[in-house]
Structure 1
Amino acid sequence: MTPEELFAQLRREPDVEAPDLVAVDATDRLLLDEAAPYLPGGPGTVVVVDDAYGALTLGAVTAGASGVRVSQDLLVGEQALAANAGRTGLAGTYRSLPLDAGLFAGAGLVLAKAPRGLDALRELTELTAAAADPDVVLLVGGRVKHMTLGMNDVLRAGFGEVSATLARQKSRVLVARGPRPDVRPTFPRCRRDADLGLDVCAHGAAFAGTRVDAGTRLLASALAGAAPDARTALDLGCGTGVLAASLARSRPGLAVTATDQSAAAVASARATLTRAGLERVAVQRDDAAAGVADGSVDLVVCNPPFHLGAAVVTAAADRLFAAAARVLRPGGELWAVYNNRLPHRAALRRLVGPTRVAAADRRFTVTVSTRPLTKVPGPGGR
């Protein structure tokens, strides 16, 4: 199978499909072209990090790599890769693993999509330098407009030789060789938040890192009045676990679950909760609470994302609001926080139920939405 024959079969599903959205981009193609001199690799020597939909993994397999190991932060990426592997007859040609030293052990070639945050790149650099083969080549590809000189500096902290390819179709690849012998992994990192009295732990790709963003802080301060009779609670899109920790610590009898589709978020939340002595909180990697039973939760808390890439959108939040409505029991409450300029209050009324403002400042609003005790008739009266 040629690369183009492979690429023609790839799809984004279960992620959004649209004519202007692609499953293979210019960065994927450039990374695979730069990797070609090192392929085929020996068993277990090729590692792929944050493959969006499978182009890098399956492209490497098609080029002759065997024993490919893959780590993808977003669950939807794992699901898309699995679907594409089945579609192209390449199921079973790779292994999905967590982003840790075991993923990189003995690796001779690492292909990675450039993360937006420097901490995510720093964690990738540390793990590769510490665990991979001494002759490893690390290729990090991204869109030129998103790549900075700071990325070169991060790579140089772990490697003796760092260079950049020429740009092609607005993409570029950074090439790192010669791992420094004294590099050791430093993630997750933890920092004390004095106001919350909580050590916040974060892996490199976790949103906000060890900081507590202003929206989460406002929501946490308002939760004392949330569903006082609740027995079960869900932190939906839990990030580093700050809201789950706040609930579990203040209400010892509350059964709290925290979910996120990001592997970095789940690992970070577990670290935060363990450090706080709150191992009783169940932390699960899950997309929009897909593994949570309908009508099984009394209280949902949520600080939804409002960016997809660089664009400000509402679709991601609406999807979480709809998930909250599904898992809430009748009379249950969703406590959400969002930027004041976003039109979420109307969506919350439509998707969940009656909504009121519980707290606000100059940037953020906290609302409480209550799932009706009976189903509200639709426009047709049914």
Structure 2
Amino acid sequence: MTDLDLSALRRWPDVESPELVAVDATDRLILDTAAEAIAAHPDGVLVIDDNYGALTLGAIALGARGVRVHQDSIVAERALAANAGERAREYRTVALDDEGFAGARVVLWQLPRSLDRLDDVAHLISDAGGPETTVYAGGRIKHMTPRMNEVLGRYFDRVDVTHARQKSRVLVGSENAMVSCRGMLPDVRDEGAVRYLAAPGVFNGGRLDIGTRALLAVLDELPDARTVVDLGCGSGILAARLAQRYPDADVIATDVSAAAVAAAARTAELNGLPNVRVLRDDAGQGIPDSSVDLVLLNPPFHDGGAVHTGIASKLFASAARMLRPGGELWTVYNSALAYRGELQRVVGPTRQVSRTPKFTVTSSTRQP
């Protein structure tokens, strides 16, 4: 395919483990399917949601120049930069907007799981691209559905499906229908005392998930705090409730996702909460050590398509680092995961606050 050894790519700074890979069969199939188009339009390549750099660096190895890249995850951005080395000058990061996507001829895209995210980004590609824009959107077959073809078909008059290879396929959208997304209204909803933006691509569609509801059920039991962190804030509903609960506190809402932090900022604005500060970061790395009184966390239990606890462990360690001595981490997790022992070891003494057959809420106190 290319003279680039994709197998040498790493996931760092994301969780690394023998069963987790930095490049998969979908990356390779997308590149092979799009190779002729990249050679024909080397200055018109746009890459969307490249996990660790395989699509971007693979396209460069195929002759692409000045590749534009949009990655929702800041971890993916940093992994690409680490893997790129001297090739970093051969691509540039762009925003999810008309200017960043304008005139793209060849779009390489790891399919999102969310149909709302697929629709939102495909709409933008169609609107910002030209009549000759072609999209190569690939995924693992087990995560693909006929609805994805239908969504892409709203914006491209022709949608072809490649043969399966190593349990992956690529949807090829061509003959751009040039559908304009001008004038689309944001989806603002109500969740109790909070108005929020339900944004495509945000966990659970931006809605309040059942685990976070378990945290909100014990909101009145939280200790006094001057600095509070919603670690993995999503659309910012929990951060907004915390800002209402602690009107004189500094509430930091942080997430790896660009879509999430944009939604959280809008949620804070909709509710008139100037004490919410939004930060796009990897596990809150930009928050100083020993600077926080209270952290709330609803950790993910999967990494992409793989069930894996590595991300939760990373977030526990980050919370321990940022908490002041005596500060508390309140965590909600699936009761079957039994994180209590790890929390006790990494953060400090841990007690159960509430428990149902499905979810457990614990409080862990940081020791001096």
SS at match of 1:293: coil
Q: State the Cα distance separating 1:44 from its structure 2 match.
A: 5.3
For the 8 Å contact 1:260–1:287, the answer to whether it is kept is yes
Counterparts of 1:111-122 in structure 2, within 5 Å, are: 111-122=108-119
For the 8 Å contact 1:41–1:65, the answer to whether it is kept is no
Structure 1, gaps ≥5 residues long? 375-382
2:290 pairs, out of 286, 295, 314, with 295
Give aligned pairs, total.
367
* Paired letter, 1:301: L
Q: For each residue in 1:56-103, what CA deviation from the matched residue of structure 2 results, as whole angstroms up to 9, or x when unmatched?
A: 1111112121121111122221111111110xx312111112222222
Q: State yes or no: 1:128 paired with 2:120.
A: no
For the 8 Å contact 2:249–2:275, the answer to whether it is kept is no
Q: For each residue in 1:189-227, what CA deviation from the matched residue of structure 2 results, as whole angstroms up to 9, or x when unmatched?
A: 33222xx22222133211011321111112123122212
SS at match of 1:258: strand
Counterparts of 1:103-114 in structure 2, within 5 Å, are: 103-114=100-111
* Paired letter, 1:46: V
Moved more, 301-310 or 32-41: 32-41
Q: State yes or no: 1:210 paired with 2:209.
A: no
Shift of the 37–213 alpha-carbon distance from structure 1 to 2, 3 Å rule, reads same
SS at match of 1:289: coil
Structure 2 CA distance for aligned equivalents of residues 369 and 11 of structure 1 = 33
Q: Report the TM-score, using the length of structure 1 for normalisation.
A: 0.90
For the 8 Å contact 1:352–1:371, the answer to whether it is kept is yes
Corresponding position of 2:36 = 37
Shift of the 187–318 alpha-carbon distance from structure 1 to 2, 3 Å rule, reads farther
Corresponding position of 2:177 = 180
* Paired letter, 1:58: L
Q: State the Cα distance separating 1:326 from its structure 2 match.
A: 0.9
Structure 2 CA distance for aligned equivalents of residues 97 and 220 of structure 1 = 36
SS at match of 2:216: helix
* Paired letter, 1:101: D
Shift of the 34–282 alpha-carbon distance from structure 1 to 2, 3 Å rule, reads same
Corresponding position of 1:224 = 220
Shift of the 98–15 alpha-carbon distance from structure 1 to 2, 3 Å rule, reads same
Shift of the 300–81 alpha-carbon distance from structure 1 to 2, 3 Å rule, reads same
For the 8 Å contact 1:30–1:173, the answer to whether it is kept is yes
Moved more, 285-294 or 271-280: 271-280
SS at match of 1:90: helix
Structure 1 CA distance for aligned equivalents of residues 99 and 9 of structure 2 = 28
Q: State yes or no: 1:191 paired with 2:186.
A: no
Q: State the Cα distance separating 1:152 from its structure 2 match.
A: 0.6
SS at match of 1:329: strand
* Paired letter, 2:83: N
Q: State yes or no: 1:78 paired with 2:65.
A: no
Shift of the 46–302 alpha-carbon distance from structure 1 to 2, 3 Å rule, reads same
Q: State yes or no: 1:352 paired with 2:347.
A: yes
Counting aligned pairs with the same residue, the percent is 52
Corresponding position of 2:260 = 265
Structure 2 CA distance for aligned equivalents of residues 295 and 91 of structure 1 = 34
For the 8 Å contact 1:357–1:366, the answer to whether it is kept is yes
Q: State the Cα distance separating 1:19 from its structure 2 match.
A: 4.4
Structure 1 CA distance for aligned equivalents of residues 255 and 4 of structure 2 = 34
Q: State yes or no: 1:100 paired with 2:97.
A: yes
Structure 2, gaps ≥5 residues long? none
* Paired letter, 1:284: L
